[in-house]
């Protein structure tokens, strides 16, 4: 294997076509090379965004993900190989190793972790931009609060089926995700319940990374400024100005922010039940689920066996796992004592 580092001339040639793009130029390229991006999630969106930004020459990329590579990932998660799936390599590590082969001049850090308030506050030190590539709104709201607290822009993105959505959030300028959730239906389906086609991933990544290049190269005035959604299969494309969604009373970006999702009360609670091969997950706020409706959704969108009674829903998963859902939103994942693994299972079906 050739381990020789590229020369200054090699790097000039590497980015030559990008520097020829007049809005970016050599000055913009230099700004990219001095930037740091934190990517939360190394799945479909995360792996694709990381590859684009590393090839573009962003100087430092931090990747955080709690999961490992599975066979079902290979259809759309472009950094991973069959060997990664066979060996169950953690996604953050597999992504890091592949990206270092793509561009050895970029500093790449990998964290195998379930993102919590403590971790993310450590990771954002020196970060210029946060990229959302997660699979659940609990983590996105955590990103949102740390973004507002530390005045770091972040780019929200999601996709499922043939549908995609993205919005660039700039503290002090745009509404935040907490504001958007009051006025826009952002959905809760996941790839495990509704499937996904690769072009939907690539379209979201194209918009997210283009906005990232604008921000990192000093061209904030060129940001799109709208909530963009599309459905490739239905040939639909919607771009909505969200200026009016910003709320002065918002607990995350308003006049008196409290950053509720960075507190212990704003996070779900996970615990291993004593003497049992089970993890219990409690949502941050008490809720009342319609178990019959939830059962119908899961039966329609998965091949797993689902049973329901007036008190709870039970779904049999693979490899001896079973998930039990209660009316108050509590979930028990049987067959594991690994909290990170249990939370991954939970977010697959309740994204």
Neighbours of 165 (CB within 10 A): 21
Q: Dihedral of CA 330/335/339/343: which sign?
A: negative
Please confirm, yes or no, whether 191 is among the known catalytic residues: yes
Considering the candidates 176, 179, 191, 253, report the single residue annotated as catalytic. 191
> How far does Cα 165 stand from its chain's mean position?
12
| Rounded-to-integer distance, Cα 294 and Cα 149, Å | 35
| DSSP string computed for 184-225 | S------HHHH-B-HHHHHHHHHHHHHHHHHHHTT-GGG---
Phi/psi at 157 (5° precision): -155, 145
| Rounded-to-integer distance, Cα 283 and Cα 118, Å | 18
Kind of pairing between the strands at 236-241 and 269-272: unpaired
Roughly how many angstroms between the first and final C-alpha of the chain, as a whole number?
41
Report CA-CA distances (Å) from 263 to 138, 252, 272: 12, 12, 21
Q: Where are the alpha helices (DSSP H) in the chain?
A: 8-14, 16-19, 25-33, 44-56, 82-87, 91-102, 117-123, 137-150, 177-183, 191-194, 198-216, 291-301, 339-349
Alpha carbon dihedral 304, 307, 312, 316, in 10-degree steps, equals: -30
Active site residues: 191
């Amino acid at each position: 294997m050739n381990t020789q580092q590229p020369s200054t001339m090699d790097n000039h040639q590497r980015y030559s076509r990008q520097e020829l793009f007049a809005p970016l130029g050599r000055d913009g390229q230099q700004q990219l090379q001095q930037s740091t991006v934190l990517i939360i999630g190394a799945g479909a969106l995360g792996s694709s965004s990381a590859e684009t930004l590393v090839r573009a020459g962003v100087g430092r990329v931090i990747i955080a993900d709690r999961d490992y590579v599975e066979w079902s990932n290979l259809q759309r998660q472009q950094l991973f190989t069959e060997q990664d799936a066979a060996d169950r390599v953690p996604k953050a590590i597999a992504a890091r190793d592949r990206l270092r082969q793509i561009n050895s001049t970029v500093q790449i850090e990998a964290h195998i972790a379930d993102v919590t308030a403590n971790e993310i506050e450590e990771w954002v030190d020196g970060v210029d931009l946060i990229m959302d590539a997660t699979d659940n709104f609990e983590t996105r709201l955590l990103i949102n609060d740390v973004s507002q607290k530390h005045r770091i822009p972040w780019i929200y993105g999601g996709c499922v089926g043939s549908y995609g959505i993205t919005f660039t959030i700039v503290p002090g300028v745009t509404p935040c995700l907490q504001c958007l959730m009051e006025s826009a239906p952002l959905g809760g389906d996941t790839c495990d319940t509704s499937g996904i086609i690769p072009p939907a991933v690539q379209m979201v990544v194209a918009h997210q990374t283009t906005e990232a290049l604008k921000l990192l190269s000093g061209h904030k005035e060129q940001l799109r400024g709208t909530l963009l959604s599309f459905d490739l299969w239905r040939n639909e494309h919607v771009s909505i100005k969200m200026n009016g969604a910003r709320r002065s009373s918002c607990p995350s970006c308003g006049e008196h922010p409290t950053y509720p999702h960075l507190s212990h009360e704003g996070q779900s609670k996970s615990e291993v039940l004593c003497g049992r091969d089970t993890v219990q997950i409690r949502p941050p706020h008490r809720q009342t689920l319609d178990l019959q409706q939830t059962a119908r959704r899961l039966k329609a969108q998965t091949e797993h066996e689902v049973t329901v009674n007036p008190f709870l829903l039970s779904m049999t998963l693979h490899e001896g796992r079973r998930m039990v859902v209660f009316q108050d939103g509590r979930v028990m994942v049987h067959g594991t004592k690994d909290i990170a693994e249990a939370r991954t299972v939970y977010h697959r079906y309740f994204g």
